[in-house]
Structure 1
Amino acid sequence: MEEIEVGNHSKTKEVIVKPKVKMNKYALACALLASTNSILLGYDIGVISGAILYIREDLKLSKFQEEILVGSLNVCSLIGSLLSGKTSDLIGRRYTIVLAACTFFAGALLMGLAPSYPYLMAGRVVAGIGVGYSLMIAPVYTAEISPTMTRGFMSSLPEVFITVGILLGYVVNYALSGIPNNWNWRVMLLLAVVPSIGVGLGVFFMPESPRWLVMKKRLSEAKTVLVATSENEEEAEVRLGEITRAWELHEASNFVGQSVWKELLWKPTPGTRRILIAAIGINFFMQASGNDAVIYYLPEVFSAAGIKKKKLLFAINVIMGTAKATFVMISALVLDKYGRRPLLLLSSAGMAVSLSTLGLGSMFLRASGHKPSWAIVVSVIAVCADVSFFSVGLGPITWVYSSEIFPMRLRAQGTSLAVSVNRFVSGVVAMTFLTIATKITFGGMFFVLAGIMVLAMVFFFFTIPETKGKNLEDIGKLFENKKTSDEGREIREA
């Protein structure tokens, strides 16, 4: 209570002090180790955008071969995404992370040592499967091990590491651009084995997900992990009770004996259907935004705009990567304070404006004979704004949201399905971006992407409820209608 004086009278007013949210260091360490897996995709996205310029010259690739090479990793990653749900339910979240790192390691070796285009494609396929595993499992593991009040921050760490990987790839492009053309792209791709080794070794210091342990009825092990990731033993007991009750309730439901895929796709409840639509929709729009394709082909875009020096193109990439990394870290820090919905809506609106500006800039540069510097600067700023708005909302929140809205029994395979859509759309966009841009120009392509982001904003407004501060076991209620909620309440009371 605080006493204040108003005129000759004194009044008291109640001051509500919110308890400060503490970051559990053990949970943070586990989330950091798991999220490091995502650096594998980020590095590939960043490094291939520069390496492809040299690969094209060294192996004499056509535009079609270039698109297939770049996009094949994303398409093949949907194989890993689809398999990862069942795999992680069988062998656990922890060993699935190890499997992802080992698979990517083999793919990176194949790519770096490839003597020809077919061998290079084989490496992209293997690395893509590893990426698919890592993209699904890292957010699921971090969501399941994180305390409720810091889950947004910890679950957004995979996107932070993707962005760090992209920036690292750009820096490697810039640093190795001066060595001979037949060696530089090989070294660029081979360096990907370094983070995969680090990830594979780091996982052995991590505990298993407590929710997976409850699913396997290993309650004493689950409690040990929860004690380490909670403030005290009483909080751990409460969390264990919530997880156990949620699992027992699900086992007692009408879906006992029914496969997860049937529950998701054949006869889902209204709540499960809404969850699936939200998860697939956010993953679709994440990649339909064209963010990955812009990163992959940015040197092509600015080369067409009149910048011919490769080192300068790589320098622009580093500037863009720095902006992207900065804003994804800002998003991670404020996500648990402002919530998912506001940042998603801000992100999609900002990307629509940025892509429209980039479209105008590209069209002006294409029509202009002397390529004025101010127009190039405006286009660079628009690109940086686009990736920054993506990184403050749509990028990190897609992984957070996909991993937290499914109920425990459906989480692994539901998330794997949503991430598979993510990877498929990413591959299609990457493998058609140059072809479509040739038909309608880069400017026209950016206007199409801006229109997609307007549609995304409408979708997010109507289908994405806020999940900030909710326990994983309670989030499903947000997607239930009144009838479904009443039925669920009757089951619990019975």
Structure 2
Amino acid sequence: MDATEVGSQESKIGEEDGIVPKKRASLNKYALACALLASTNSILLGYDIGVMSGAVLYIKDNLKITSIEEEILVGSLNVCSLIGSLASGKTSDLIGRRYTIVLAAATFFIGALLMGLAPSYAFLMMGRVIAGIGVGFSLMIAPVYTAELSPAMTRGFLTALPEVFINIGILLGYVLNYALSGLPEHINWRLMLGIAAVPATAIGFGVLAMPESPRWLVMRGRIDEAKRILMRTSESAQEAETRLQEITGAALVEVSDSGIWHGQGAWKELLIRPTAPIRRILIAALGINFFMQASGNDAVVYYCPAVFKAAGIHERKQLVGVTVIMGIAKTSFVLISALYLDRYGRRPLLLLGTTGMAFSLAGLGLGSKFLEHSGSKPTWVIALCILAVCADVSFFSIGLGPITWVYSSEIFPSRLRAQGSSLAVSVNRLVSGVVAMSFLSISEKITFGGMFFVLSGIMALATVFFFFLLPETKGKSLEEIGALFENKKRDGSSGRRDVVD
């Protein structure tokens, strides 16, 4: 598929019903450049996920930590990212989206340095905590910034880029694990973790060249600046003017009497007195973020070596090598999903992803159970487990991986987007931390096979949830999406208004 046609709608959609679809949209190069730059921040999280899966093998031996301490070390970054994700909404409303990305990179830089220089477990944990705060900021702000900057017809592709970069970061982590694994164990894991400070520095300075979000500027009363940015991210002056009118029209009811808005009253409207549409939006956003992490994908990635070791692969270099294969699968499929998000829509890919994960995890559970009750380690069962893990992470990359960030950053109205997204990401981080910190302990009680069957059942529930509660949003402007949640009897799978305007 030609990159300039990403996000276009099929010309025949709705012709038999007399509905004129939106014309094919090209990918604005300036919007793409801004989205790419903002999304590079996500490499840092991906790198940490990937590199920690291998580094923890050497940390455990070098620092003589227990399995419980290992779980706390791995999961602490996700739990501590709660702090950053909760603070990111108000912070980005006050200082802007762009400077919040800079803050995220700077915080992660400090954490990476501390981890790379850590002389002890306590020092290492301190670095994880600080890096986790930076991750919390990054996970919320990159998709929100990109969604607010992007034209409607290519927003799915551009907003999926943070997940693409997370997977690139995971793959880089796996590759460096493999490359540095031959060094002495008191050096290799410190290099694996500390080297992340280098891209964090480049990202922090690079983001300063980006423009601010036009929607944030409008909410702050800086209309002329917003118009200049919209002119550069639109295909024509007419399109820019139309987008500006939509944004300013929505902003009229969202700013204070002084005309300056700084996120006031957002938490009250979200949690204390939400309207019916806001309540549905919140349920959808929290639900998709909950199931993203309840899928166990992060834990499978973190503890992949342990899973494969249980399957009969004991050589450390082989363990790390298999994770590289898994990383290639994840990265390849998230790119495919991003390219087709604006063509086929969010719902079809999301439902395909969760259904595929349910079957993949069930297959992994069957393979693990066979190995548990078999004295030998048949090659075909080991191959089945490897194939099932790769299929699981690939289906995650098709559906939940990219679409969670796209969906939860586009469905909130402008006045609630930053703080609503920060709340959704907080749920994401909390569940991720709980799963990562309990995965090994629960698996010891019910075995890896039992754990994978549980995760398979969770993905089956997720499929039902998404089918009934998440309407299609492709091709809609951010200002139009709110209408999708106003009708209780909406049908996201068949409603033609969700396909074309």
Q: Name the TM-score, length of structure 1 as normaliser.
A: 0.93
Q: How does 1:71-470 map to 2 (within 5 A)?
A: 71-251=75-255, 259-470=265-476
Equivalent position amino acid for 1:39 in 2? I
Structure 1 CA distance, aligned partners of 2:473 and 2:397? 19
**Any idea what the Cα deviations from partners look like across 1:6-54, whole Å, max 9, x if unmatched?**
xxxxxxxx9x997432110000000000000101100000000000000
Structure 2 CA distance, aligned partners of 1:242 and 1:101? 32
Equivalent position amino acid for 2:224 in 1? S
Shift of 1:369: 1.6
Shift of 1:483: 11
Shift of 1:259: 1.1
Structure 2 CA distance, aligned partners of 1:137 and 1:441? 37
Equivalent position amino acid for 1:332 in 2? A
Structure 1 residue runs of 4+, over 6 Å off? 255-258
Question: What is the percentage of aligned positions where both structures have the same residue?
Answer: 72
- 2:36 maps to which of 8, 13, 32: 32
Structure 2 CA distance, aligned partners of 1:481 and 1:249? 21
- Higher radius of gyration, 1 or 2: 1
User: Over aligned residue pairs, what C-alpha RMSD do you find?
Assistant: 1.9
Cα distance, 1:258–1:164 mapped onto 2, change above 3 Å: closer
**Any idea what the Cα deviations from partners look like across 1:432-483, whole Å, max 9, x if unmatched?**
0000000000000000000000000010011100000001001011011379
Equivalent position amino acid for 2:167 in 1? T
Structure 2 CA distance, aligned partners of 1:468 and 1:413? 23
Counterpart contact for 2:263–2:415, Cα < 8 Å: no
Structure 2 CA distance, aligned partners of 1:308 and 1:377? 15
Report SS of the residue matched to 1:473.
Answer: helix
Cα distance, 1:216–1:377 mapped onto 2, change above 3 Å: same
Structure 2 CA distance, aligned partners of 1:97 and 1:357? 40
Shift of 1:265: 0.2
Report SS of the residue matched to 2:479.
Answer: coil
Q: How does 1:46-65 map to 2 (within 5 A)?
A: 46-65=50-69
Shift of 1:258: 6.2
Equivalent position amino acid for 1:293 in 2? A
Which structure 2 segments of 5+ residues have no match? 1-17, 491-501
Structure 2 CA distance, aligned partners of 1:266 and 1:215? 23
Task: Count matched residues.
Answer: 470
Aligned position for 1:22: 26
Report SS of the residue matched to 1:134.
Answer: helix
Report SS of the residue matched to 2:253.
Answer: helix
Equivalent position amino acid for 2:210 in 1? M
Shift of 1:368: 1.6
Aligned position for 2:9: none
Counterpart contact for 2:219–2:255, Cα < 8 Å: no
Moved more, 465-474 or 227-236: 227-236
Which structure 1 segments of 5+ residues have no match? 1-13, 485-494
Aligned position for 2:46: 42
Structure 1 CA distance, aligned partners of 2:41 and 2:88? 14
Equivalent position amino acid for 2:26 in 1? K
Report SS of the residue matched to 2:252.
Answer: helix
Counterpart contact for 2:345–2:474, Cα < 8 Å: yes
Equivalent position amino acid for 1:102 in 2? A
Structure 1 CA distance, aligned partners of 2:264 and 2:340? 40
Structure 1 CA distance, aligned partners of 2:434 and 2:262? 37
Structure 1 CA distance, aligned partners of 2:452 and 2:348? 24
